[in-house]
Amino acid sequence: DAGVTQSPTHLIKTRGQQVTLRCSPKSGHDTVSWYQQALGQGPQFIFQYYEEEERQRGNFPDRFSGHQFPNYSSELNVNALLLGDSALYLCASSVGQSSYNSPLHFGNGTRLTVT
């Protein structure tokens, strides 16, 4: 049973470029959340997708956008990259958008470096 898979594992981009990160949730999960983990910090919530709609958003600018597909997989897009966007981007899946006591299942992340 595959867990949460993310691609690519590593990515190097130049300031001002755009990037797309991909996530496939754990089998049976229908909700995908994205988190940004800067070096030496805890993960910070970017947004959550359920039924192909953004359901909640953290304190991130509109340069960060996402999408969820009918098969529950998801993409995170970041436009106009800044040096400060360099981080580990984590995808997490769960069952149902309102399962507040359910743990999240995380992928291994995509390491984005902006130069």
Partner 1 sequence: AQSVAQPEDQVNVAEGNPLTVKCTYSVSGNPYLFWYVQYPNRGLQFLLKYITGDNLVKGSYGFEAEFNKSQTSFHLKKPSALVSDSALYFCAVRYGSARQLTFGSGTQLTVLP
Contact status: 104 vs partner 1 (CB under 8 A): yes
103 binds partner 1 (CB under 8 A): yes
Q: What angle do CA 38, 110, 114 make, to 5 degrees?
A: 60
H-helix or E-strand spanning residue 44? strand 44-50
Among 41, 79, 113, 115, interactor with partner 1 by CB under 8 A = 41
Q: Can you tell me which residue has the tokens 């991130």? A: 60
Q: Kindly identify the residues of this chain, within the stretch 1-30, that bind partner 1 according to CB under 8 A.
A: 4
CB atoms within 10 A of CB 103: 8
Interface mask toward partner 1 for 46-65; x: CB under 8 A: --x------xx-x-------
The strand pair at 19-24 and 64-68 is best described as: unpaired
For partner 1, the closer CB: 18 or 46: 46
Residue 65: beta bridge partners?
77
Look at residues 15, 23, 24, 33 and name the one whose alpha carbon lies nearest to residue 85: 15
How many residues of this chain bind partner 1 (CB under 8 A)? 26
Q: Does 90 bind partner 1 (CB under 8 A)?
A: yes
Lookup: tokens for 70: 């009918």
Q: Is 44 in the site for partner 1 (CB under 8 A)?
A: yes
Binding site for partner 1 (CB under 8 A): 4, 33, 40-45, 48, 55-56, 58, 90, 92, 97-98, 100-101, 103-109, 111
